[in-house]
Amino acid sequence: MNGQESHNQQAHQVIREVQKAVFGKDECIRKVMMAILSSGHILLEDIPGVGKTTMALAFSKALNLKENRLTFTPDVLPADLTGFTMYRKETGKFYYQPGAVMCNLFLGDEINRTSPRTQSALLEVMEEGQVSVDGVTHPLPKPFIVIATQNPAGSAGTQLLPQSQLDRFTVCLTMGYPDMDEEIAILKGRIAQNTIEQVRSAADGPCLLQMQEEVRGVFIHDRIYRYIGNLVQATRSHPMIELGVSPRGSLALARMAQASSYLRGKTYVTPDDIREIFMDVCGHRILLNGKARISHLTPAAVLEEILKTVPGPSLRRS
C-alpha cells in the first residue's frame, strides 16, 4: 500500500469516527470532509438543535486538531477573533495576545448573530490565512479551517452575511431534521452517553496537510475545466439570477471536485464529481432577481435547471 492509499483510508476513517457522534447525516459528513480536504471553509446553515456544532466538534476530535470555539453575539468584538497588542510595563514593549482564530480548526457558532464589523474580521483570516493587528501580520497555524454555523435568515436576532463573506465559504450545507429511525438513534445515544466522547483520533495536522497536497494533485482534464466554466457562465447569464458565481466559486468547484475524486480513490476528476457538489458550492454564491422571487423559485431549483441544460463533456478516448 502506497502513501496516498494509506491517507485515503485515514480520510474514510475520519468520516467513520464522526458518524459515531452525528447520526444519519452521512452525505453531509462526507461533503464536510471534502471541503476540509480541499483546504476550504464550511458554513452549516440550519435551524437550532440539529447537530451543527456536534459535527464541527467531532471533526476537530477525529482530526486531532487544536480547536477554538467562539459563540457570536452582538457584543463580540473583532479583537476577540484576531487578537490585540498589549503594553508590558516590565519590558516597556508591546506584545501580541492571540485571538480565537489562532488554532487549526475555528468553530464560529451562530456567525450571523454578531455585528458586521466583527463578521468582517474573518475576511482576511479566511482568504489569506493571517491576521493583521496594529500593522503587524501574524500567520495562522496550518492547517487552518473555519466551520461556522448560522440560523436561517429571519430568525430573531440574526442579520444576513455580506456576499463577500459568503463567497469565502467553500460550501454551504444544510443538515435538516432527522427521520424517525435517526431520531430514535439520537435519543438512545445521547441518553446513554456523550457521543462526542466516542470519537477517536484518526489523523492529525501533518497528515491532513499531506492529504490536502494529494488532493491538489488530482488530475483535471481541459474538458472538465471547460465544463466548470460553462456551468459558471450559465449562472452569470441566467435570466433569473442577478449575481452569478464568482471566479473564487469556480476555483472552489474545481477543488471540491478533486476532493470528491480523491475520496472515491480515483486520480482524475469526472463530470459526476462536478455534479455531486455543484449545488453545495454555488447555492450560497448566487442571488436571484425579483422575477425569480415573484415566481417563488429557489437557488436550488435554478441551479438544478442549469445542471440539466449545460451538457457534460465526454472523456472517452478517440
**C-beta of residue 38 within 8 angstroms of C-beta of residue 213:** no
What gap in Å lies between CA 250 and CA 82, rounded to an integer? 28
pLDDT at 21: 87
217-309: CATH topology is Helicase, Ruva Protein; domain 3 (1.10.8)
**278-313 residue pLDDT tens:** 999 999 999 999 998 898 899 999 999 999 999 988
Quote the cell numbers at residue 263.
475520496
**C-beta of residue 23 within 8 angstroms of C-beta of residue 186:** yes
CB-based contacts of 2: which residues, under 8 Å, 6+ apart? Answer: none
pLDDT at 318: 45
- Strands 42-45 and 171-173 come out as parallel
pLDDT of 37 > 60? The answer is yes
Alpha-carbon separation of residue 172 from 8, 50, 149, 177 (angstroms): 24, 15, 10, 17
DSSP secondary structure string for all residues of 258-311: HHHHHHTT-SB--HHHHHHHHHHHHTTT-EE-HHHHHTT--HHHHHHHHHHHSP
- What's the CA angle centered on 130, arms 18 and 165, to 5 degrees? 70
What gap in Å lies between CA 230 and CA 228, rounded to an integer? 5
Quote the cell numbers at residue 282.
454555488
pLDDT of 2 > 70? The answer is no
In our burial notation (b when 16+ CB lie closer than 10 A, e otherwise), range 220-250 reads beeebeebbeebbebbeebebbeebbbeebb
Average model confidence (pLDDT) across the chain: 89
Specify the pTM: 0.91
**240-281 residue pLDDT tens:** 999 999 999 999 999 999 999 999 999 999 999 999 999 999
Quote the cell numbers at residue 199.
470519537
Please state which of the four CATH numbers 3.40.50.700, 3.30.360.10, 3.90.110.10, 3.40.50.300 is assigned to the domain occupying 3-74+103-121+139-208: 3.40.50.300
Per DSSP, which regions of the chain are E strands? 42-45, 67-71, 83-88, 93-98, 105-109, 130-133, 136-139, 145-150, 171-173, 241-243, 287-288
What gap in Å lies between CA 284 and CA 27, rounded to an integer? 18
Q: Indicate the residue type of 152.
A: P
**111-169 residue pLDDT tens:** 888 888 888 888 889 999 999 998 889 999 999 999 998 877 655 566 778 888 899 99
**C-beta of residue 67 within 8 angstroms of C-beta of residue 57:** yes
pLDDT at 42: 96
What gap in Å lies between CA 229 and CA 119, rounded to an integer? 30
The residues spanned by each domain of the chain are 3-74+103-121+139-208, 217-309
CB-based contacts of 19: which residues, under 8 Å, 6+ apart? Answer: 26, 29
**56-107 residue pLDDT tens:** 889 999 999 999 999 998 889 999 999 999 988 888 888 899 999 999 999 9
- What's the CA angle centered on 166, arms 24 and 111, to 5 degrees? 70
In our burial notation (b when 16+ CB lie closer than 10 A, e otherwise), range 59-68 reads bbbbbbbebb
**181-235 residue pLDDT tens:** 777 877 776 655 667 888 999 999 999 999 999 999 999 999 999 999 999 999 9
